[in-house]
Amino acid sequence: MREREHLIHKYLRSSKRFPHIWCSGCGIGILLGALIRAIDGSGYGKDDIVLISGIGCSGRLPTYVDFNTLHTTHGRALTFATGIKLAKPSLKVIVVMGDGDATAIGGNHFIHAARRNIGVTSIIINNQTYGMTGGQFSPTTPFGLETSASPYGNLEHPFDICGLAREAGATFVARSTVYHARLLEEAIGMALNKEGFSVVEVISHCATYFGRQTGLESPVEMMKWQRDNAVRVEKAKELPEDELREKIVIGVLVDREAPAYHEEYERLRAKCGVADNAL
Amino acid sequence: MKKSRKSDRILLQGSEACVAGALMAGCRFYAGYPITPATEIMEQMARQLPKAGGVFIQMEDEIASLGAVIGASLAGLKGMTATSGPGFSLMQEHISFACMAEVPCVIVDVMRGGPSTGLPTLPSQGDVMQARWGAHGDHPIIVLCPSSTYEFFDLTIKAFNLSERYRSPVILLTDEVTAHTRESVILPPREELAIEERRKPTVPPEWYTPYDDRQTGVPPMPAFGEGYRYHVTGLAHDIRGYPTTRSDEVEALMGRLFSKISKDFHLLQWFDSYNTEDSVVTVIAYGSVARSALRAVREAREKGLRVGLLKLKVLWPFMRRTVMRFLESSAKVLVPETNMGQLSREVKRVNQGKSEIITLNKVDGTTFSPKEILETLEDIYP
């Protein structure tokens, strides 16, 4: 408890008028806690961290924490992050996005940031809905679900965000739920240690909209669902495919080495006759 | 400034002059996406920036390009991008962001025929109003318009200076003719150029209030990583940078965004005038059209017509004071544009009956020949 208070005082912005804008029971707060603990354990100073967001409930997250913080446009956070990382590679750049933010309006930026292996840690809070605008279906909403924009059932099939990240070229991909808060903290810590493009998908819950639409009306019920439906990646390997289909595979899914874009660029610049970033 | 030593003279395309100006102004970041007729700027940047210690990246689209430029600017580098009509449309979202968050950046729009894919290889001046009002929401903007290779060089440097001085996006609105024409120019040595740098905070971080400056209206701006941890957002924000919907705070923010530029209107009256001392008919033109207009005015003078030319180098904020002066002294004013009449609307708005405004418009993918403008001058000459 004392440790937690210490972290709150160290990282939350006292000058920001709390309370935050999230609904009570929202999963984003659990993520914020895990993120702060992971950053605290990573050894980076507050001046070294740039925390960026797009638009949506997750977009407000950087407002509350004492880093260099940037709240960008819908879906485009990774483009700003690309500019910041290449302009100043010494900064640790973290981008927090929602599922609609990262894979609908920002889907193109997401796959290209992964393909280029931009040195950015992407944290995608997947609550399977557009919460801030009132519970419309997102690219991760299950097929058939009745939402406020699909009153007769969703005709679209959901993305596998981690699969997308892996195939596009991310060097680190992990998934956790907010129920598995320790795993979440570990996964973010590992992602922060990578030089290249790292992705942590965070299965979260929106009790206000998604919960109501699926019949899981309280955050507690939704988190129990996360607990009961998550399978560790090690165990998932032993399960038959049809049994896995309804499960959430959590853990580290990809961890490989590849030079990050800024490292490649440094080599290119050296080849051109400029050895450092001195202007 | 210009030495006429023959060895200093070089042959440059407008686009190359733009890149030379940008590098001399301190541009060290370029993100872009290929598009005709602006691609030459990107290719030159790809070649030169790594050698200059800067960063070049080709992004996945124009939205991403300007996003990356804004990011680099927040991290302390001067950055720019270049595009044409369709890409310029995509950039509007981030031009709006840069206005609200007050992030310096330079955007070149090499205008081509539109609407839509239109005439990719042919000139036009169809984006004059998009440059002013394309981005959503009420916002101030600075738009400069070169008409020659040397002016492209000069105005690119000025664009960076203004962008840093006012913490605002600055648009260089040019056209296919100006960007592709090769001209012999003498570029001034770097030490003769006035280069402005971003004002940084002088107070320690704990005293720093990111969006509070009652003296100049332009708050000092630290780069990310320099110890001043602050919040940047496209939401309406208070002086600390945090989101607000309080009407008094929003009003103060919006008022400052506009006044920081409008209070300096007298510093943004950049124009050239030719034969206007006694002109009965004055042509008001900009960009490549102004070149044809100049030739037309000279030929008309040879025929004894008292005509002159006012060439505008700043399109927005519109140079009301300057234009008014010429409207008052001329019986008639001719505004030739390769669009259906965009800047002429502004001239008419300012005119208020002082002069008779005649528009000359063309949207067929060609620019005006001097002859076309000369014939019109002869027609309308009182």
Q: Which residue of B has its CA nearest to A50?
A: B224
Is position B46 within any domain? yes
> Does residue B137 sit at the A interface (CB-CB below 8 Å)?
no
Tokens of A18: 């709390």
Chain A residues closer than 8 Å to B225 by CB: 47-48, 50, 68, 88, 90-91
Is position B36 within any domain? yes
Interchain pair A87, B77: CB under 8 A: yes
**pTM for the model:** 0.97
- The whole-number pLDDT of residue B213 equals 76
Shared-domain flag, residues B318 and B182 = no
Nearest to A274 among B51, B64, B235 (CB): B51
> Does residue B381 sit at the A interface (CB-CB below 8 Å)?
no
Tokens of B299: 């030929």
C-alpha distances in angstroms, A128 versus A107, A125, A179, B368?
A: 15, 9, 16, 56
Domain edge (last residue) among B192, B213, B229: B192
- What's the gap between Cα B258 and its chain centre? 17
Shared-domain flag, residues B172 and B281 = no
CB atoms within 10 A of CB B296: 27
Domain edge (last residue) among B132, B158, B192: B192
Give the three-class secondary structure for B363: coil
Disruptive mutation site among A10, A73, A117, A267 for chain B (greatest number of B CBs within 10 Å): A73
**Domain definitions of chain A by residue range:** 2-272
Task: Write out residues 3-42 of B within 8 Å (CB-CB) of A.
Answer: 26, 28-29, 31
Interchain pair B31, A83: CB under 8 A: yes
Query: Low-confidence residues of chain B, pLDDT below 50?
Result: 1-2
How many Cβ pairs closer than 8 A exist between chain A and B?
146
Dihedral sign (CA A208, A210, A212, A216): negative
Report the CATH number at residue B52: 3.40.50.970
DSSP B115-166: STT-EEEEE--TTHHHHHH-SSSS---EEE---SHHHHHHHHHHHHHHHHHH
Alpha-carbon distance of A224 to A217, in angstroms, equals 12
Alpha-carbon distance of B309 to B311, in angstroms, equals 6
Q: What is the largest CA-CA distance in chain A?
A: 63
Alpha-carbon distance of B283 to B334, in angstroms, equals 5
Domain edge (last residue) among B141, B161, B192: B192
Query: Low-confidence residues of chain A, pLDDT below 70?
Result: 1-4, 274-279
> Does residue B60 sit at the A interface (CB-CB below 8 Å)?
yes
The one-letter code for the residue type at B139 is H
Chain B residues closer than 8 Å to A66 by CB: 229
- The whole-number pLDDT of residue B374 equals 98
Q: What angle do CA B72, A197, A13 make, to 5 degrees?
A: 60
Dihedral sign (CA B65, B70, B72, B73): positive
Nearest to B225 among A48, A273, A278 (CB): A48
Shared-domain flag, residues B278 and B184 = no
- The whole-number pLDDT of residue A15 equals 80
Dihedral sign (CA B218, B224, B229, B231): positive
Interchain pair B97, A90: CB under 8 A: no
Shared-domain flag, residues B20 and B135 = yes
Is position B319 within any domain? yes
Shared-domain flag, residues B176 and B297 = no
The one-letter code for the residue type at B113 is G
Q: For chain A, which residues lie within 8 Å of any Cβ of chain B, measuring from their own Cβ? A: 13, 15-17, 46-48, 50, 60, 62-63, 66-73, 76, 79-88, 90-91, 108-109, 112, 265, 268-269, 272-274, 276-279
Interchain pair B242, A15: CB under 8 A: yes
Chain B residues closer than 8 Å to A90 by CB: 225
> Does residue B239 sit at the A interface (CB-CB below 8 Å)?
no
Residue range of the domain that includes B130: 7-192
If one counts the domains in chain B, the total is 2
Alpha-carbon distance of B254 to B119, in angstroms, equals 38
Shared-domain flag, residues B154 and B32 = yes
Disruptive mutation site among A61, A70, A118, A272 for chain B (greatest number of B CBs within 10 Å): A70
Is position B267 within any domain? no
Dihedral sign (CA A55, B198, B270, B353): positive
C-alpha distances in angstroms, B257 versus B100, B218, B236, B248, B261?
A: 8, 8, 11, 14, 7
C-alpha distances in angstroms, B43 versus A36, B15, B22, B37, B244?
A: 42, 10, 14, 12, 42
CATH class of the domain at A2-272: alpha beta
